[in-house]
Amino acid sequence: MFGASRFRQFFDFLSLWLAVAIPGLAALQRVAWDSVWRDDLPLVRGLGLVAPGGPSTLTTVAMQLASLFPLGPLPFRAALISALALSICSTFVFLMARGVLETHVPGSFLNAPLAGVAALSASLGPGLQAEATVGGGATVPLAAGLAALWAITHPQWSKERRHGVCAILSGALLTESALAALVVLLACAVSMVLRKDWPGNRREWIAWGLWPLTVGVLMMPAWFRPLSPNSILNYGRDFSMAELAMVDPVARPATGLAAWKAEVGVVSLVIAVLGGVMGLVRKRTRWLVAPWLLVVATDAVFPASHGGVLTVDQLTALRSFAIVAIAMLASVGVQTVVTTLTDTALPMAKAAAVLLVLFDGTLVAVTAENAAFSVDRSVQPGASAYTDQALYRIDPNAMVLVRSHAIIWRLLASQVVAGARPDVVVVPFPLMGRGTVAAGVLAHEPAATMMLRDMALEGTAGPHAVSRVSDRRRLLVELDPAWKDEMAVHLKAEGLWLSMETQPLGRSDRRLAAENAGKVIERVAKAASSQPADEATQSVLLTVAKQQTLAAALAKDRQVTYDLLQKMAAVAPQDLFVRALKQRMEHAKGATIDVSGLIR
């Protein structure tokens, strides 16, 4: 009996150790050594260099601590925090899943293995692995939320301790994701009501008083950072990743249920539904299962974008909670079926139970295989190749007028975090009305006064204002939809940009420039075609090609427009832009081509 007890303790420890170590190690080997598109904004924000949107205090503190250790480039150190947070998440998933299973069927030998499968199937999936490979991913708020739920359901702690720890953790979560914090608080409230564990005396209510205290302390950096005289940039507190998420070309809304169905399968989802029903029906597990059902239901109402390549959606933390909840409910479903089969006298019942447990174990391999083919930041040089051509190889003291959110944060991340090309003046059109951005541009180039005034009054830069800047600096731009043909005749393709020339260009100059720019785009596209393909860089390159094509069309150069359109058709023949512009060129009268509505 003593030997069996020691063996079970060893088996439980082994299950916990595997659930903790494997997800973090798997994410660690997929972390990029250089920054990728998704972590540009979180990296600049997380290092405390700007104060946009949500403060993300926990991420900021963790990233700054990681920056003190010489472990490689700053993007790699920031991503290490996300990978470590994933291991912490997996630990809490194991502990909570085992607690539910022990409450459901006490003393079962399968409780620890099923809890380990739940932790690994959730943390090794593409969703959480993708968040663990970039700095500022959703694993940090997920770890805080799981820790809060684990604390409020801890079976051995006193009520004061449970409520105090939960208040601190949920308050910290509020500084990372407001919606996720609200859902966690509601889940904790459901658990307390069903368990009749709500605060009953003054000391227990004082414990919840730590919640506003924690929020106030952690929000202080966001309040005082814009007032700092040494602030490098200040975009104000009204900017968030939601503005960048809206323009992510690949992202599509998806719930945790849809993600689990795509990553694991329908059978496991049905088992999770069974586990949720059984856990809710039985009184002894209702207070443990009901909070997770609330999380899944909330995620179904507020779906996060799935497959985004340019940014991390702020709702991703909530979807990650839903994925974890489904994994734990699936473990309860497997335990229910296995217990029912072993208690019956049906022929082959025990064999069927063994096969079901083996099937549940194979889910870990399925999710890990999906992540292996879809998540790997370590072999994606497309972002670095783009930065090399778009920033490092442009003329000295150039000025760049940028409209795309993704490109804005790519250039600012390179300049602010990596210290690249401080001589280049980046003018971010969407951010000119925020903070000290306009003042910073004027400090570098006083001749931009008229251009900034035009942007403030009319929302676009006029030809006279732009010509004043181009007389003093090399001016590279992204195409503005408000520009007319009188501006387009001064534009020519140059690398990944459009160059604003002081004099109108001839067709031969424009054709030669388009050919040279095409070679640059092909080099970057070749770097972005590694496996798995860098969809972010490919989408940005497609936008660059569209702008260069429209600039030629606005200049009434049909031959250059046709040549550029043919190159785009060879890469993306089904793109709506290619099809629409082809039709407009066929029906155009003379050299004028209608391009209205083709670019935003």
156 belongs to a structural domain: yes
Q: Which helix (H) or strand (E) holds 285?
A: helix 283-301
Q: 439: which residues sit within 8 A by CB, 6+ positions away?
A: none
167 belongs to a structural domain: yes
Same domain, 339 and 408: no
**Rounded CA gap, 167 and 163, in Å?**
6
- Residue after which a domain boundary falls, among 345, 375, 405: 375
Q: Is the peptide bond before 249 cis (omega within 30 degrees of 0)?
A: no
Same domain, 387 and 329: no
Q: Which helix (H) or strand (E) holds 86?
A: helix 74-104
560 belongs to a structural domain: no
**β partners of residue 477:** 401, 498
**Rounded CA gap, 545 and 529, in Å?**
17
Same domain, 325 and 203: yes
196 belongs to a structural domain: yes
Work out how many domains the chain is built from and give that number: 2
- Residue after which a domain boundary falls, among 375, 408, 443: 375
Q: Which two tokens stand for residue 284?
A: 């002894």
199 belongs to a structural domain: yes
Question: What spatial distance separates the first Cα and last Cα of the chain, rounded to whole Å?
Answer: 73
- Beta strands of 281-387 (E only): which ranges? 304-306
Same domain, 209 and 273: yes
Same domain, 96 and 202: yes
Same domain, 87 and 194: yes
pLDDT band at 464 (very low <50, low <70, confident <90, very high): confident
Residue whose C-alpha is closest to residue 485's, from 555, 585, 546 = 555
**Rounded CA gap, 119 and 17, in Å?**
11
**Rounded CA gap, 191 and 290, in Å?**
7
pLDDT score, position 228: 59
Tokens 């509020």 found at: 174
Residue whose C-alpha is closest to residue 176's, from 96, 81, 247, 296 = 81
Residue whose C-alpha is closest to residue 58's, from 135, 151, 119 = 135
Q: Which two tokens stand for residue 309?
A: 């390549």
352 belongs to a structural domain: yes
Q: Which of 94-103, 126-135, 156-165 has the highest mean pLDDT?
A: 94-103
For 350-407, write each residue's pLDDT tens digit: 888 888 888 888 888 888 887 777 777 777 788 888 999 999 999 999 999 988 888 8
Per-residue pLDDT, averaged over 424-449, amounts to: 81
Amino acid in the structure at residue 282:
R
Q: Does the CA dihedral 254-255-258-259 come out positive or negative?
A: positive
Phi, psi of 47 (to 5 degrees): -80, 5
- Convert 100-125 into a string of H (helix), E (strand) and C (coil): HHHHHCCCCCCHHHHHHHHHHHHHCC
Full domain range(s) for residue 430: 382-552
Amino acid in the structure at residue 454:
D
For 211-230, write each residue's pLDDT tens digit: 889 888 887 776 766 665 55
Q: Max Cα separation, the chain?
A: 93
Same domain, 183 and 289: yes
- Residue after which a domain boundary falls, among 317, 352, 375: 375
Same domain, 497 and 543: yes
Radius of gyration (C-alpha) of the chain in whole angstroms = 28
Same domain, 91 and 58: yes
Residue 181 has pLDDT above 60, yes or no: yes
pLDDT score, position 53: 47
Same domain, 393 and 278: no
pLDDT score, position 486: 81
**Rounded CA gap, 542 and 588, in Å?**
24
**Rounded CA gap, 560 and 437, in Å?**
36
Residue 241 has pLDDT above 70, yes or no: no
State the pTM of this model.
0.85
What percent of the chain is predicted at pLDDT more than 90?
17
Torsion (CA) 323, 329, 335, 336 in degrees, nearest 10: -150
**Rounded CA gap, 303 and 306, in Å?**
9
pLDDT score, position 277: 92
Between the alpha carbon of residue 150 and those of residues 87, 124, 276, 292, the distances in Å are 15, 21, 18, 12
Q: Does the CA dihedral 138-140-141-145 come out positive or negative?
A: positive
CB 96 within 8 A of CB 343: no
387 belongs to a structural domain: yes
CB 144 within 8 A of CB 62: no
Per-residue pLDDT, averaged over 46-72, amounts to: 71
Mapped onto helix, strand or coil, the DSSP state of residue 214 is helix
Q: Which helix (H) or strand (E) holds 401?
A: strand 399-402
Same domain, 413 and 520: yes
Mapped onto helix, strand or coil, the DSSP state of residue 254 is strand
What count of other Cβ atoms lies within 10 Å of the Cβ of residue 393? 12
Residue 589 has pLDDT above 80, yes or no: no
Same domain, 218 and 359: yes
460 belongs to a structural domain: yes
pLDDT score, position 231: 53
How high is the mean pLDDT of the chain? Answer: 82
